[in-house]
Amino acid sequence: MVTRAELATTIRVAIAVAPPYVKKTLELQHASAREMLVDDLVSRIMGSPESETVILQPDLAGFGTGSKPGVWDVDEPHPHPELRKR
């Protein structure tokens, strides 16, 4: 399960490690612009705090630095099979 804070942190890190030309193209040089983008993306993905959507993801699979996100029904059973994408 991914919380709003975890999703926001993941987006912030992705923006922070983006090459400078990407930040310039997206006009994300200033911290306020980056925070506005993070807030907008989190609200679009998770919904409003009152009607928050929960994103489920399987645990990491593999060992050590080779860990990667797991796959539903391969690494662990899907908790809500009726919600699978068709």
The string of pLDDT tens digits covering residues 29-86 is 788 888 999 999 888 888 777 766 666 667 777 666 567 777 777 877 777 777 666 5
The burial class, CB within 10 Å (0-12 / 13-18 / 19+), for 65 is exposed
Report the C-alpha gap between 21 and 84 in whole angstroms.
Answer: 37
Cβ contact 34:12 at 8 Å: yes
Paired residues of 55 in beta bridges: 2
User: Can you give the pTM of this predicted structure?
Assistant: 0.58
At residue 41, the 3 state secondary structure works out as: helix
